[in-house]
Structure 1
Amino acid sequence: MTSFQTVSAGGLEVFYREAGKPGAPKLLLLGGFPSSSHQFRNLMPELDGRFHLVSIDYPGFGNTETPDPTKWEYTFDHLAEIVDEVLLGIDFTGPMGLYMHGHGGPIGNRLISLHPDWLQWQVIQNSNMYDEGFTEIWDGMRQALWTDRDVENQAPLNALLEPKAVKAIYLTGHPDPTKISPDNWNLALHFLARPNARRAQLDLFFDYRTNAAQYPAWQRRLRRDQPRTLIFWGQGDILFTPAGGDAYLRDLPDAQLVRLNSGHFATEDRLHEIVDGINSFYDETVK
């Protein structure tokens, strides 16, 4: 069964989910905006018979604290530092698999840079690392906010935090919307309504430019190390285009790419394809 725990890191109480038995192969689940470890609530029980799993709510997400952005810096570097401190604190280290979705990609890549020996294999699900992988929804950030953050440029991005947009992130590209629980966006909106939460997310939108700046270095690492990689890509993702998934094959020609008839949160309606794919990939490529 999944357990729900907290640990102190960076002066915060950080929430995480844990499942499986210590001593089993480790798999770290790093989720994306606007969700939290909640997005893995169905995946963890499907994999806990063979993996030791951990998923962390970053500061500003889910059940972890949302400190005041005027006093706490919301950057991907800082989130990665907190995740690293949590993993060291609960002794979830050493060779492992990293499942990286959305924001989890830039956080995971920072962890790999800190601890290259931790990466045994990786699963990438709709997490971009190439310039051509952005949909038009990013245009406002790339053309305005990333180059000149001011009130005028930032204002249109507030719409991404409104109920209509959050719901669209969960539903767009999924062929049967009735398969996607409204608990997803209702919970995300609940957390976004907390004090400091919207400003924290806007700060991260602004800081996303630092991820794009590191793409060339991360791509060079892929070409050099050729990590064993399984890619799941929802083809109808509102945030990242199919080209973003295809681009990995330039640097990882031996990676396995599974194109899913799904959207950004593919574990909602393609859970069993993902579970079967992970189990098969681990048996055939990693074990």
Structure 2
Amino acid sequence: MIVKLMRKGENMKIEHKTISVDGISIFYREAGNKDNPTILLLHGYPSSSHMYRNLIPKLAGQYHVIAPDYPGFGRSDQPTVEEFAYTFDNLSEVMYSFIEKLEMDKFSIYVHDFGAPVGFILASKHPERIQTVISQNGNAYEEGLEPAWAPVRAFWENPKDENNIKAVMDLFSEEIVRLQYVSGTRNPEHISPDNWVSDMYRMNQPGNREIMLALHYDYQNNLKAYPIWHDYFRRYQPPTLVAWGKNDMFFGPNGALAYNKDLKDVEIHLLNTGHFPLEEDLEISSTLILQFLNDRLNK
């Protein structure tokens, strides 16, 4: 495959766009030449495409990069839980409709946190579209689930118990959201507070906590779908890069190493940082991604 290189600065500026998908306004960031291979960046919780603001320019010189916000996140519409079923299957369906509208035939996926179920549901249903996979703290194996999941697991077992509901709701506090960004980092003072301020702006919107509660309850269905994702890995063998913050409080390094079980062409790198490696290890992450994509897409 021939990659069309740009002159320095050409088409590397991020464009901020919206598009109507199934009646929902979806916000997305886009950069790079559309003639080049496309990378779809799927964000995690509690973030949005904002988490990719610094990565996109690093990739856009050689690739076409798109980063959407899911319904209820970032700058996309937030239909209520009565108007929209907040499940990972449904988020994946919206993303597939988004892909269709943008006429993305083949692309690589970068998945982080919540982006893993969104991306792997999509990939297992439409494997012919996926060129490569990049997982950065995007879990697909039971081995990766750390003890910090205990309140959510209790909520799965008894979702009507008020104590269980409160324990999960407490995870949506600014203190815990901030902790997701700084826990496990080498230099917490280097992590911009704009991250959790941006996240909390959305989370503090009326009805958003109920949306997050619904998604945390539905997360149990991702675990049930793991065998489907593993079958996708084994059957289609997508070239995969795993660049994982090994000090993640929610998704531990064993989740990264587990990709070895089902994939033949897989690179695994454990980075000495936390849940959001792009905040502290942007340079090494972008270098690994570019080397990986150049090796796999330009054979």
- Return the alpha-carbon distance in structure 2 between the equivalents of residues 284 and 55 of structure 1: 23
Percentage of identical aligned residues: 38
Does 1:118 find its partner at 2:118? no
- Return the alpha-carbon distance in structure 2 between the equivalents of residues 35 and 266 of structure 1: 13
Task: Give 3-state SS (helix, strand or coil) of 2:206's partner.
Answer: coil
Does 1:24 find its partner at 2:36? yes
TM-score normalized by structure 1? 0.97
- Aligned-partner residue type, residue 199 of structure 2: A
* Cα pair 1:145 1:206 within 8 Å, conserved: yes
Does 1:6 find its partner at 2:18? yes
Task: Give 3-state SS (helix, strand or coil) of 2:184's partner.
Answer: coil
* Cα pair 2:135 2:240 within 8 Å, conserved: yes
1:279 is aligned to: 290
Shift of 1:253: 4.0
2:220 is aligned to: 209
- Return the alpha-carbon distance in structure 1 between the equivalents of residues 81 and 161 of structure 2: 16
Q: 1:160 aligns with which of 168, 171, 178?
A: 171
Task: Give 3-state SS (helix, strand or coil) of 2:157's partner.
Answer: coil
- Return the alpha-carbon distance in structure 2 between the equivalents of residues 122 and 269 of structure 1: 22
- Aligned-partner residue type, residue 53 of structure 1: V
Q: Can you give the 5+ residue segments of structure 2 that lack an aligned partner in the other structure?
A: 1-12
For 1:32-51, list aligned pairs within 5 A.
32-51=44-63
- Aligned-partner residue type, residue 2 of structure 1: I
2:250 is aligned to: 239
1:84 is aligned to: 96
Number of residue pairs matched by the alignment: 285
Q: Can you give the 5+ residue segments of structure 1 that lack an aligned partner in the other structure?
A: none
1:173 is aligned to: 184
Task: Give 3-state SS (helix, strand or coil) of 1:223's partner.
Answer: helix
* Cα pair 2:124 2:228 within 8 Å, conserved: no
- Return the alpha-carbon distance in structure 1 between the equivalents of residues 105 and 126 of structure 2: 9
Task: Give 3-state SS (helix, strand or coil) of 2:226's partner.
Answer: helix
* Cα pair 2:121 2:229 within 8 Å, conserved: no
Task: Give 3-state SS (helix, strand or coil) of 1:67's partner.
Answer: coil
For 1:188-203, list aligned pairs within 5 A.
188-203=199-214
Task: Give 3-state SS (helix, strand or coil) of 1:33's partner.
Answer: coil
CA RMSD, 1 decimal: 1.1
- Aligned-partner residue type, residue 236 of structure 2: D
- Aligned-partner residue type, residue 139 of structure 1: A
TM-score normalized by structure 2? 0.93
Does 1:149 find its partner at 2:136? no
- Return the alpha-carbon distance in structure 2 between the equivalents of residues 83 and 195 of structure 1: 24
- Aligned-partner residue type, residue 115 of structure 1: H
* Cα pair 1:3 1:19 within 8 Å, conserved: yes
* Cα pair 2:249 2:274 within 8 Å, conserved: yes
